[in-house]
Copies of this chain bind each other. A is one copy, B any other.
Amino acid sequence: MDNIKPETCRYGVEASLEIIVGKWKPIILLHLLHGGTKRFGELKRMLPDITQKMLTTQLRELEEQEIIMRKVYPEVPPRVEYSVTEYGRGLYDILQQMHEWGIAHLEYMAKKNSR
């Protein structure tokens, strides 16, 4: 990590973390990145263990950061669709790398614990 000061890096890293940290945020993002636009109910079904309240709050927070877009169709019954913004797609590489390193780490720790 040459020619980069920790004090400088820190803020960027923490800003990124603030976005993806949240019990359900990574998996919500992965679903939207992978499957495209989804309705509230679809997401709810894809995440069987999440409560409606948590799904709502996590989505609202991601929306506030402009990582996802919320589109409301004025129909009855209501329809609301969520999708990742162009801007939010920039998180793809980070999530991808975290995925790869994380899997390797899980295997490393598993092997270690089996010794």
Enumerate chain A interface residues (CB-CB to B < 8 A).
Answer: 1-2, 4-7, 9-17, 19-21, 26-27, 30-31, 33-35, 46, 65-66, 87, 90-106, 108-109, 112
A5: which B residues are within 8 A, CB to CB?
34
- In the complex the two chains form, is B101's CB within 8 Å of A91's CB? yes
Is there an interface contact between A10 and B27, defined as CB atoms closer than 8 Å?
A: yes
Docked complex Cα distance between A103 and B8 (Å): 9
* Given A1-B92, A12-B101, A93-B97, 14 more pairs with CB closer than 8 A: A1-B33, A1-B34, A4-B34, A6-B35, A9-B30, A11-B106, A12-B105, A14-B26, A15-B106, A17-B102, A66-B109, A90-B104, A94-B94, A97-B97
